[in-house]
Chains A and B, each alone.
Chain A
Amino acid sequence: MRHTLSILVENKPAVLMRVTSLFARRGFNIESLAVGPTAQHDVSCITIRVDCESSPLEQIEKQMHKLVNVLRVAELVPGESIERELVLMKVAAPPNKRAELMALGEVFNARVVDLGPDSIVFELTGPPEDCDSFEELVRPHGLQELVRTGRIGLGRAQRPNHNRPRQRVLA
């Protein structure tokens, strides 16, 4: 099963390595990983997407709690959190295909950020699932390059502290 973890860490050297080594030692592959600043000075947020069973994941979460630079670990629970991702994709677009592709982009609210003689660069920000769908639709047209930021997420706004995703209770 896929899980998204949101980990608040002190912005210190090697902290990313310490966190990811807990997955690496078990041979778990990380599907996506995003790191960036938070509202708090000196605190970063690591968002990790992994495909693993719940019980080893719980174990990993507990081990993460023991890392000196880790301040908080929470799982982003679908339905109770907002997840977003940004994609840039360069698609083959000979003049006769352009209009079709741009119409497709409009459906997904993808922006055209660059236009060349035979290709278009789209930017799409949205739920990761939308990014997947758009990617699939565009692929047959000739997907030349694609990069994704990896997902980031927050707990929903009705929660008392809206920067605080729902936390599964850990023993």
Chain B
Amino acid sequence: MRGNGADAILRSLEAEGVDIAFGLPGGAILPLYDAFARGTTVRHVLARHEQGAGHMAEGYARASGRAGVAIATSGPGATNLVTPIADAWMDSTPLVCITGQVRRHLIGSDAFQECDITGITIPIVKHSWLVQDVEELPHVIKAAFHVARTGRCGPVLVDVPRDIQEAELDFSYPETVSLPGWKPPRRGHERQILAAANAIAAAERPILYVGGGVLNADATEELRALAETARLPVVTTLMAKSGFPETHELHVGWPGMHGPKWSNWALNKADLLVAVGSRFDDRVTGKVSAFAPGATVVHLDIDAAEISKIRHADVPVVGPLKPILARLTQLVRESMQPGRTEPWLRQIAEWKDQFPLRYNPEGDMLKPQLVLETLQELTAGRDDVVWTTGVGQHQMWAMQYLLCDRPRSFITSGGLGTMGYGIPAAIGAKAARPDATVVCVDGDGCFQMTQQELATSVLEDLPIVVVIVNNGYLGMVRQWQDMFFEERFSQINLTHTVPDYAALARAYGAAGFTVESADDLEGALAEAIACGRTAVVDARVDPREHCFPMIPAGAAALDLVEFQDTVAEVTT
């Protein structure tokens, strides 16, 4: 098939089964957009900012399990993609970015909108290509998808000079890729899996500490089988949220800085920690030496570089989680003594009763926690809801109060903590799951970082519901200043009223609701969720609420600060 480089990119995307791409055009990528105009089965969603396009592609990837595709022009278009690329890097989200570059003879001359995007992104991509020969293009695209999706998932970038997009070639899509240096592990070592099974059988207080890897590996069924077979309690990190049914009796909440006390206690009193696609992030461990100090560690991960990076692994198993967990379940079924973990499970259940999440429901203002509780009540039992969040207090409340049973139904920026992630990620998730009701739980600060994508949501018919937990502040920063900087509030006041979010929503053609009292809350949320169009609920809440419990950064997990505790001399 004769065509130019731009055609080759689209034919390659089609061959990869890509049905949607998110982007925004500009000079150096014009030939590709011309190819879009000439016809393709790939739907293009026009974002209002390339960062939005990148997060949409991430949201799409996280909701679907497939690689997301983002497209931008050279220079500022490409640099606007840097945040989503870093985000995808930290959260192991498969993302393929295609950027235009200035013509080859101009590269290196500081040409208009030239920027060395492959250079800028080196530390945050799995790999990148600056295409130098049009004949290479199909191979590069094939390799890009292959690298993004195999091994530990993550972002890749393909930078295509404009003259390459215009050059002619005879297109054929390669069937295989040749990447001699790319050798992700294919299977876990049988002896190591056996050692892991023995460790589980011998433990009295085992716990599965599950990370986002289990979702990327599509291994949630296998995880559940293991937990049920061996009767193991399961904590899921923020990234693993929805990777194990949260209404399941074996689910023990979420570890880390804002995890419930009982979850952190269960982790810390365990004598065996089975880390499954998790990476001992500092927001999970707190002070590493005080994290599950008495536990033997089994670490299952696709990425050898995670083994013993933070915490020594007594039994490392490197390889794809799906078959490893399946094999482990088989072995455990044979060796496990029935009922062995019941006393431990009873102990954890006691802690759960003893240490529920608490807040003071009294007061003159709507409480943020009530917003989340109400959302949970309104959606309980539904398996067609997908949540996304921004970053801050509202995100942590969302983690604590929303119970997600279906895999890939909670999508948030974990590793990078990117404010503004929620709205575009929700749009991407909606594209991946058109049947689902996608709700973004956002902060007022986060909302203002990517609100312009409401236009994308409305005009591209990708309706989402945005619930702003509007505390009028950069609330999480306020909490830290309150707790750790002697209440010296500095540059955090956003106000509840500027902008008027409901009016802004209406200006974008979306539905807008303002809620100021508990009485109006449920009705507005229910209507927004049911209305079937893009809707924004501005829930004006009490800014004085802190998110508890909290393990101060670097503190031991058991030294968590609870609701109503006075905060004395906590170090950061």
Measured as residues with beta carbon below 8 angstroms from the partner, the interface class of chain B is: 20 to 34
Q: Which residues of A contact B303 (CB under 8 A)?
A: 66
Within 8 A of B (CB), among A142-171: 170-171
Residue of A nearest to B310 (CB): A59
Q: Does A46 contact B (CB under 8 A)?
A: no
Q: Are A68 and B305 in contact (CB under 8 A)?
A: no
Given A14-B119, A18-B122, A170-B304: A68 touches B318 (CB 8 Å cut-off): no
Tell me whether B181 and A21 are in contact (CB under 8 A). no
Contact check, A62 vs B127: say whether CB atoms are below 8 A apart.
Answer: no
List the B side residues contacting A69 at CB < 8 Å: 127, 181
- CB-based contact A68/B182 at 8 Å: yes
B147–A68 touching, CB < 8 Å = yes
Q: In the assembled complex, how far is the CB of residue A13 from the closest CB belonging to chain B, in whole angstroms?
A: 7
Report whether B304 and A171 are in contact in the complex, using a CB–CB cutoff of 8 Å. yes
Q: A65-B304, A68-B147 are in contact. Are A21 and B126 (CB under 8 A)?
A: no
A135, CB-defined interface residue at 8 Å: no
Q: Report whether over half of chain A's contact residues are helix, strand or loop; otherwise say mixed.
A: mixed
C-beta contact mask, B146-168 vs A, less than 8 Å → 1, else 0?
01000110000000000000000
Do A66 and B179 touch (CB < 8 A)?
no
Pull 30 A–B residue pairs with CB atoms less than 8 Å apart, ordered by A.
A9-B181, A10-B181, A13-B130, A14-B118, A14-B119, A14-B128, A17-B119, A17-B122, A18-B122, A21-B122, A21-B123, A25-B123, A59-B305, A59-B309, A62-B304, A65-B304, A65-B305, A66-B126, A66-B151, A66-B305, A67-B181, A68-B126, A68-B179, A68-B181, A69-B127, A69-B181, A71-B181, A171-B304, A171-B307, A171-B308
Does B363 make an interface contact (CB < 8 A)? no
Bound complex: CA of A13 vs CA of B123, how far in Å? 15
Complex Cα distance A10/B182, Å?
11
Residue of B nearest to A13 (CB): B130
Residues of A that sit less than 8 Å from B by CB: 9-10, 13-14, 17-18, 21, 25, 59, 62-63, 65-71, 170-171
Q: Does B316 contact A (CB under 8 A)?
A: yes
> A9-B181, A69-B127 known; 16 other A-B pairs, CB under 8 Å?
A10-B180, A10-B181, A18-B122, A21-B122, A21-B123, A25-B123, A59-B309, A62-B307, A63-B305, A65-B304, A66-B305, A67-B181, A70-B181, A71-B181, A171-B316, A171-B318
What distance in Å separates the Cβ of A54 from its nearest Cβ neighbour in chain B?
12
**A-contact bits for B174-195, CB 8 A (1 contact / 0 none):** 0000011110000000000000
- CB-nearest residue of chain B relative to A8? B181
Q: Mark B299-320, 1 if CB is under 8 A from A, else 0.
A: 0000111011100000010100
